[in-house]
Chain A
Amino acid sequence: MHKELSQKSDYNLQVSPISKGEYMMAKMIKETEHPLYRKSNKMRMERFGKGLTFLSVALAAAITAAILFLVFSKGLSTFIMNDGSVKDFFTGTTWNPAEVNSLGKPIIGALPFLVGSLAVTGISALLSAPLAIGAAIFMSEIAPKTGKRIMQPVIELLVGIPSVVYGFIGLTVVVPFLRDLFPGSGFGIAAGTIVLSVMILPTVTSLALDAIQAVPRSLREASLALGSTRWQMICEVVLKTAKPGLMMAVIFGMARAFGEALAVQMVIGNAAVIPHSLFEPASTLTSILTMGMGYTVMGQIENNALWSLALVLLLMSLFFTITVRMIGKGKSS
């Protein structure tokens, strides 16, 4: 190593004419710094890597910021530029942004979509949560072997099915089924809810499974050692301990249901009214957004009004994310 170094130094001496003193200095520095010198190659790599990752982060942040800016500025312009009333937006029941009402304000009552979105989200969470938690208990506590070998792959498969397929199945199976059983066309909140609960079921199940499996074995053993039955252990210790995680699982499912557009749009009927029953056509924020997108022109009030719906969607998803984070924080502390 030493030899190699002095050779290098000699080589330096040959190319750059420096005095003997300078050469000695250079040699000393090189020699003392030698291990550092070799490391600095690695350090350069590290700096390069750091720079690269920083760039990706910066890019991601910039894109996010740009999206937020776009949605906020467009979404708010309905109220600022087009003189829309925020109160009308949240309480009005008629959606006709192209026209103005007697006060000269655009008719932008989004309440039917808000109701529709909240209804499909809430009811599908109510339907899928017990099913998902039940399935997760079965997979982790009752038949872990079957769970691992059969249920887990099935769930992974289900997670991967595109939502349009769920919508299509809903359209061909659920809607006619509801039409036969209940008065009406079969399109409506009920159909949307059924499709959505099936769609979010695998996601919620696999997150609930993670939460349940994260309960330490020592707690289960402690419960059994106190003379509990397996069932008591599951209800009183496992589920109670996993509760924050289970709540997170359900909220993730709700976020997914709230934001789902395609599958819902295919089965909900897309009527811009507050339905009187679960079996009448209705619509959600997402369905009205996808329906209207193609028919409006950028910059016009009809288009801006849709951006306002998008803003509500964004704020809701932000709300879901923050809730999940807060539960997560509470869990870790």
Chain B
Amino acid sequence: MNVVNTIEQSVIQTENLQFYYGTHHALKNINLKFEEKRITALIGPSGCGKSTFLRTMNRMNDLIPGVKTEGAIWIGKENITDSSIDPVELRKKVGMVFQHASVFPFSIYENIAYGPRIHGERNKKVLDEIVEENLRAAALWDEVKDQLDQSATGLSGGQQQRLTIARTLATKPEILLMDEPTSALDPISTAKVEELIQTLKEHYTIIIVTHNMQQAARIADFTAFFLNGEVKEYGQTATIFSNPLFSETKEYIAGKFG
């Protein structure tokens, strides 16, 4: 493993992170630092633990019975693996976008307003503003502004994915976790979502799982290569792609396995 020390300021840092599904050791001694307001891509073959890692960061794995987490994940000064941390509060700060756009079968408006509402925002005017602001942030406003009260399930796949991004942004997270957000999308929608992700990096720290090497190369500042539950290599994307330390990294990027 190779932690590149050019990372100066880090909001998120994992420390000897271990994760088990029952007896299955899915994450082995992960030590990673993520820099603030940067995009970090997680790549690696299927089943190597990328999603598992992402889901430890907002404690979504807590929902699965029989799992165990060891080590620490520091976000700022807090170790979020600590049992005293309230996962509900944590998830407001650490938003997540899933592979398959899971829009609620409500109106577009209600989808965005959902997060703020459950966090106590009742003022209609404020909600209106939040909806517009986040739809704009997700580059969806112009496409849907005349149909806010229509069901979100009627949108195209790409629009739905941008809607779920907007919905996540509406809870004002600091960190965005994205698990293969474009793998179910066509090239044009993918390009739009990628463009969106790049604009979001101005305000958010983004960790994105992708199977698309070009995508990682295009948008990520840093890339971590996962292999069999371990981080095999981690560094600036340009370095990882042009000059990897390990032959496995090179072969994976070249598409020789995965």
Contact = CB atoms under 8 A, between A and B. Distances in A.
Interface of B is mostly: helix
B60 A226 contact: no
Interface stretch (B34-42, B88-96, B238-246, B248-256): B88-96
Contact of A226 (B89, B100, B171): B171
Nearest to B105: A241
Interface of A is mostly: helix
Contacts of B167: 222, 226
Nearest to A232: B118
Contacts of B88: 227-229
A219 B104 contact: yes
A216 interface: yes
B223 interface: no
Nearest to B177: A225
B58 interface: yes
B53 to A, nearest CB: 15
Contact of B60 (A225, A228, A232): A225
A86 interface: no
Interface string A209-252: 00000001011011111111100100011001100000000000
Q: Categorize the interface residue count of chain B.
A: 20 to 34
A226 B177 CA distance: 12
B164 interface: yes
Q: Categorize the interface residue count of chain A.
A: 10 to 19
A236 B115 CA distance: 11
Contact of A218 (B89, B100, B115, B119): B100
Interface in B94-120: 95-96, 98, 100, 102, 104-106, 114-115, 117-119
A224 B59 CA distance: 10
11 contacts: A218-B100, A222-B98, A223-B104, A225-B91, A226-B114, A226-B115, A227-B91, A227-B118, A229-B88, A236-B114, A240-B104
Given A224-B91, A229-B118, 14 more contacts: A216-B102, A219-B104, A221-B63, A224-B63, A225-B95, A225-B98, A226-B95, A226-B115, A226-B168, A227-B88, A227-B92, A227-B171, A228-B115, A240-B106
Instruction: List the 8 closest A-B pairs by CB distance, nearest first.
Output: A227-B92, A218-B102, A227-B91, A222-B102, A225-B96, A226-B115, A228-B118, A232-B118
Interface of A: 216, 218-219, 221-229, 232, 236-237, 240-241
